[in-house]
């Protein structure tokens, strides 16, 4: 055996010996999912508050290959007691990766990124680097609700600045949409305005599918009209007649048609998010099993 190969094998054995048998099993399951099905950890936040490591192991055992975090916005804040680096280590041991994080930036920021008001974004960028992730997602619009064209213009400028800041630091910036972001202002929907007035090279959009249907919009139409702008999807479902969020596969979202065109749409990461009360892990598993039927999720394009 060559020395290089021996050292490599020894390192693998040492790393494996640091894991319990159950952790090794969870890691093996997650690694077998060569595809792109992730989980937004907001889905299991009550469980994480009780036991981060144990419940992340459950996520890996289901087969998720990635997680998306949330809430990086306060100085010295930890994720349920863990630093970004510590969370990354646990996630890697379980055979998963961290795709990115949602940043709850609700404040209006000045047009100079070198001011103290932008320090929270810079901390977020540092956290995402520590997690070996690449997606920085604005969880909602500043001020939450967009009501005027002046606000819309300010948001477009803000997104451009945040996108440029992230790009300079090797990350990708995006905006997570809600149903109220489809409001029409001066003859154009807020989403269309932001799509048209931001640079595709540094601002992407993450559709939360149930919110799109709730707004009366068609995700297929948007992805056909703006190819490449939606590399991340939050995988949810919605019953239009009942006007309520439902488990994936039980609503009106036409996922088979969307996945048929996922490659041309530029989809890179699918992230399951559970919005409804109940057994979170049972719903996570059901969602994972639903999405694994599609060739895209296995990387078979």
Name the β-bridge partners of 100.
68, 135
- Residues 30, 95 contacting (CB under 8 angstroms): yes
> Domain 19-298 maps to which CATH number in 3.30.1060.10, 3.20.20.150, 3.40.47.10, 3.40.50.970?
3.20.20.150
Q: What integer pLDDT is reported at residue 73 of this predicted model?
A: 52
Residue 224 neighbours by CB under 8 Å, 6+ apart: 261
Q: How are the residues of the chain apportioned to helix, strand and coil, as percentages rounded to the nearest 5?
A: 50, 15, 35
- Residues 258, 223 contacting (CB under 8 angstroms): yes
> What is the C-alpha to C-alpha distance for residues 94 and 59, in angstroms, rounded to an integer?
9
Please classify residue 199 by burial: count the beta carbons closer than 10 Å to its beta carbon, then call 0-12 exposed, 13-18 middle and 19+ buried: exposed
Q: Which of 51, 114, 10, 63 is nearest to 270 (CA)?
A: 63
> What is the C-alpha to C-alpha distance for residues 301 and 295, in angstroms, rounded to an integer?
6
Q: Which of 290, 289, 281 is nearest to 258 (CA)?
A: 290
Residue 102 neighbours by CB under 8 Å, 6+ apart: 40, 42, 68, 69, 70, 71, 137, 138, 139, 176
pLDDT in tens, 178-193: 999 999 999 999 999 9
Q: What integer pLDDT is reported at residue 35 of this predicted model?
A: 57
> What is the C-alpha to C-alpha distance for residues 187 and 215, in angstroms, rounded to an integer?
16
Question: In this structure, how many other beta carbons lie within 10 angstroms of the beta carbon of residue 143?
Answer: 13
Q: What integer pLDDT is reported at residue 228 of this predicted model?
A: 96
* pLDDT tens series, the chain, 301 aa: 444 443 344 444 344 444 555 555 555 544 554 558 999 999 999 999 999 999 999 999 999 999 999 876 566 678 889 999 999 999 999 999 999 999 876 677 888 888 988 888 999 999 999 999 999 999 988 877 888 999 999 999 999 999 999 999 999 999 999 999 999 999 999 999 999 999 999 999 999 999 999 999 999 999 999 999 999 999 999 999 999 999 999 999 999 999 999 999 999 999 999 999 999 999 999 999 999 999 998 875 4
CA 221 vs CA 156, 208, 231, 258, 297: distances in Å: 22, 15, 15, 10, 21
Q: Which of 231, 218, 236, 221 is nearest to 100 (CA)?
A: 231
CA 156 vs CA 84, 101, 137, 152, 205: distances in Å: 29, 21, 15, 6, 12
- What is the three-state SS of 222-265? HHHHCCCCCCEEEECEEECCCCEEECCCCCCCCHHHHHHCHHHH
């Amino acid at each position: 055996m060559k020395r290089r190969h021996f050292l490599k094998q020894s390192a693998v054995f040492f790393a494996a010996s640091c894991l319990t048998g159950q952790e090794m099993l969870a890691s093996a399951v997650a690694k077998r999912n060569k595809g792109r099905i992730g989980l937004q950890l907001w889905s299991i936040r009550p469980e994480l508050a009780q036991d981060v490591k144990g419940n992340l192991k459950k996520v890996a055992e289901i087969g998720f290959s990635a997680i998306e975090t949330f809430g990086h916005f306060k100085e010295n804040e930890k994720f349920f007691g863990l630093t970004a680096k510590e969370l990354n280590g646990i996630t890697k041991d379980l055979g998963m990766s961290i795709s990115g994080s949602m940043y709850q930036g609700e404040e209006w920021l000045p047009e100079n990124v070198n001011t103290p008001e932008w320090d929270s974004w810079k901390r977020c960028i540092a956290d995402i680097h520590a997690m070996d992730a690449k997606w920085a997602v604005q969880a909602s619009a500043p001020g939450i609700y967009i009501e005027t064209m002046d606000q819309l213009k300010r948001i477009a400028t803000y997104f451009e600045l945040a996108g440029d800041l992230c790009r300079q630091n090797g990350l990708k910036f995006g905006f997570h949409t809600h149903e109220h972001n489809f409001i029409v202002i001066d003859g154009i929907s807020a989403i269309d305005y932001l799509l048209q007035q931001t640079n595709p090279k540094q601002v992407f959009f993450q559709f939360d599918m149930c919110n799109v249907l709730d707004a009366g919009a068609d995700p297929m139409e948007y992805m056909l009209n703006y190819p490449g702008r939606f590399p991340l999807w939050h995988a949810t479902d919605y019953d239009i007649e009942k006007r309520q969020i439902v488990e994936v596969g039980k609503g009106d979202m036409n996922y088979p048609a969307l996945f048929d065109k996922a490659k041309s749409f530029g989809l890179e990461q699918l992230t399951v998010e559970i919005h409804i009360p109940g057994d979170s892990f049972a719903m996570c598993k059901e969602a994972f099993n639903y999405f694994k039927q599609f060739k895209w999720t296995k990387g078979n394009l």
